[in-house]
Each structure stands twice: as C-alpha cells, then as structure tokens.
Amino acid sequence: MNNQIKITIFGLGFVGLTTAVGFAKKGFQTYGYEILPQKVEQLQNAKIPFYEEGLQEAFNEVYKQTLFITNDILQALKDSDVIFYCIGTPMGEDGSADLSYILQALEQTAKNIHLCKKQPILVIKSTVPPSSCNECFVPFLNNKLGIKTNQDSDSLVFLVNNPEFLREGSAYKDFMHPDRIVIGTSNAKEIEKIKQIYTPFNAPIFFSTLNTAEFIKYLSNTMLAVNISFANEMSMIAQNIGDIDIKKSFEILHQDKRFYGNPAGIASYIYPGLGFGGYCLPKDTLALHKKAKEKSFNARMLQSALKINDDILEFYIQKITSEVSKDSKLCILGLSFKPNSDDVRDSKSATLIKKLIQAGYNNITAYDPMAIEVFKNTYNLNINYAQTLQEAIKDSVIIIATAWEEFKEISNQNNSIYNLRFM
C-alpha cells in the first residue's frame, strides 16, 4: 500500500467508482464517498450497480484493502491529501451545465477542511464548461466560503481540473492505461502531489491552465459529436442523390491512410489555422453543397464549413487591425496554401494580404521557402518579397500564415507574432 497519499473520491457513479478503484489498484489508500444510501449499501456488499468490463473483479481485489466505501464525510476526509469530485453536471432547461451539486460538495469539504492534510488538493474531475473553475468554483471558495484557494503559499487549498477521457464499456481499461493525463492548474503550475499519484500510470502528464484543461474535454467530445453529425449529413445527401452505396462509401473512406499512424495524419486537419484553401477542398465542398441543394436537401454542416472558412479570415483581420498600427512593418510567412508545396491556388495568404492592404497596411513583406515566384506571377500584389527568413522577420510584426517546419522555431521565440497556424 502507498501510505504516503490518501485520496478521497466524491461521487461513486461511472467516473467516480472507476477512478476510486483505479487509484486503489495502484496502491493508494482511497476512500469513496457517496450520499445515496442504496448505492453505498450495494458497494459495501461488494456489488457494483452498473457493468464495466473488469471493474467488478478489480473492485473485489482492492475492497477493504486499499479501497474503502463510506457515506460518512468525516471518515472520507480525515487526513485526505487529494479530493476528487466526480459529480454529475446535468443539463439545465436552457442547455447549460448545472454546477450546483459540485458547489454543494465543495461547501461540505470546506466545512470539514480541518480534517484534511495541510493544503489539500481539490480536483474537479466532473465535466464542466471552460472557465467554470476560474469564474465559479475558485470565487465560491475564496469569497463565499472564506477558503483561500490558488493563492500560492497562502492557500488553504489548491483547486485543479482533471478531465476524464473514459469510454463507457472500457472505462476501467481507459483509466488504467490512459493515452494522456491533463491537469489544469492556476497559471499552468505543476503540482508535485498530482504528479505522484499519476506517475504509476505511465502516461504523459500535461499541465495547463484551468481554462485549457476544461476546454480540452469539450474539444474532445464536440469533435466526436461533429464527426457523427458530419457522417449523418453525408448519408442524407447520398440518399437524396440516390444510387449510392453508403455503407461501402464509408468503409472505403476509412481506408484513407491519413487515419493511421502515430500520430495519424488526420491530426493535421483537426488543427486551427486560416482555413482550407488549394484547388480541391473549397471547390468540392461548395460543389457538393450545391448538388445537395439541387436535390432539395439543405446540407447545413457543409454550408457552415464554408462560412467558417470565410469567418476565420475576418476574425484575424479584425484582431490584427485592432492591435497593430497601420504604419507597422508586417511580415507574412507562408504563401502556398499548405507547407511542402508551391501550390498557391486559393491561397489564404493571398486573401489575407489583400484584406490587410484594404485595411491600410502598406508596408508588407512576404516570405515562403518555395512559392514566392509562383505567388508573384499569380497575384498582382503591391508588397515586398524577402529572399531569406531572417530578412523577412527583421523589425517586423510577424504573421505565420502557412505551417512550414522552418517557421516553428520562430513561433516559439518571438513575441511580436500572430501565429495563425498555432505551430
């Protein structure tokens, strides 16, 4: 048994019980706290109230050894080092997440904080919208409950966010063999005790700001939701057009080599930038949207994709014009529509430069490792072209428009930069 750190879990549902059993299996003294009497009775009789592959067997191995189940909050919190909140955040009538149950649990903890070890760590594992910790939980603890939170050495407690990435049906396996562990803390500060409890899981641990950790969870779930809706919209388009084998179409789509590898090549598409350009994506997306419309089907997801592709440029133009004076020297890095290519057809860099000129920026220098001459011959723009990267960036406000590998070092070092490719 790892007697150095005691872990307490508030809420023993799908996430909470899996978390409790997982830490107990790694040797940490773990107390699971649950307020529902029927669930507590079931668990104290060593019966899990839902099915998760491997969880019952693991529970049997650790129960009353390193895992203890209780509805006594005093017993749960006594000498606790790290407290996890795995409490439901049900959807309200207006679609917002109901955080009241977490607030109640934090209040219960605050009333008994004297029982815990010095400066315990409170971990929000429940799924909560980005900014919930900063705008709701930390002020609640600090201002309403008088518990100094996330105030460095003066803190009575530290509050962090640790999103879960568990799939129903394989939750225990996912917890014991995670692909990544995300910890959101104040100012992305590493907390040694959190590293200690997660080190036995042999997975990369990423410390981020509180908002970032909360956002990552929603980024993960909404990406899945959008992919499912995309597949469904495409199937409706296909059925409206007719004579399309939908099952076979998707099976062949799944053979695309971009879906494989570590990391899979598709990851480069699921990344923010200036939008899609080039010869194929804009033309084909618009053409399929038009064809669906001919067949009396409104492909709203394709329509939204095209609109967002326009909106992202306007977003950055507004950002730059509000923050950079018109007499500044601007440096545009990247002219091709994608790296490792000299193809400038429907280049977003060209559209960006045109809009900057229209906004009143007259001192623009551009550089691309491969596409300068093709770009010059394709677009008649009144700008300067640098022959080297160093010449281009000298005394400039830098705008990275294409994600060439050689721009990565600059993106990590220079402060006067608009990294529109988030390299």
The Cα–Cα gap between 76 and 86 comes to 14
Could you report the per-residue pLDDT of 134-170, keeping only the tens digit for each? Answer: 999 999 999 999 999 999 888 999 999 999 999 999 9
**259-273, 296-310, 365-379: least confidently modelled range:** 259-273
Contact 295/241 with Cβ under 8 angstroms? yes
Q: What is the DSSP track for 256-279? A: -GGG-BTTBGGGGTSS-SS---SS
Other CB atoms within 10 Å distance of the CB of residue 141: 26
What is the helix (H) or strand (E) element at residue 288, kind and residue range?
helix 281-294
What is the helix (H) or strand (E) element at residue 385, kind and residue range?
strand 384-385
Could you report the per-residue pLDDT of 365-418, keeping only the tens digit for each? Answer: 999 999 999 999 999 899 999 999 999 999 899 999 998 988 887 866 655 677
Domain boundaries, the chain: 2-219, 317-419
Contact 116/77 with Cβ under 8 angstroms? yes
CATH of domain 2-219: 3.40.50.720
- Banded pLDDT at 91 (limits 50, 70, 90): confident
How would you classify residue 243: left for phi > 0, otherwise alpha for psi between -120 and 50, otherwise beta? left
Residue from 315, 393, 383 nearest 350 by CA: 383
- Banded pLDDT at 113 (limits 50, 70, 90): very high
Contact 75/31 with Cβ under 8 angstroms? yes
Task: Note whether 2-219 and 317-419 share their fold.
Answer: yes
**Average pLDDT, integer, range 283-311:** 96
Q: Map residue 345 onto helix, strand or coil.
A: coil
The Cα–Cα gap between 79 and 385 comes to 65
Peptide bond into 263 cis (omega under 30): yes
Could you report the per-residue pLDDT of 17-48, keeping only the tens digit for each? Answer: 999 999 999 999 999 999 999 999 999 999 99
DSSP, res 105: H
Contact 92/81 with Cβ under 8 angstroms? no
Query: Is position 280 annotated as part of the catalytic site?
Result: yes
Which residue out of 86, 133, 280, 331 is catalytically annotated? 280
Q: Which class does domain 317-419 fall in? A: alpha beta
Phi, psi of 120 (to 5 degrees): -65, 155
Using only the alpha carbons of the chain, give its radius of gyration: 26
The Cα–Cα gap between 410 and 165 comes to 33
- Banded pLDDT at 421 (limits 50, 70, 90): low
Residue from 81, 78, 76, 103 nearest 191 by CA: 81
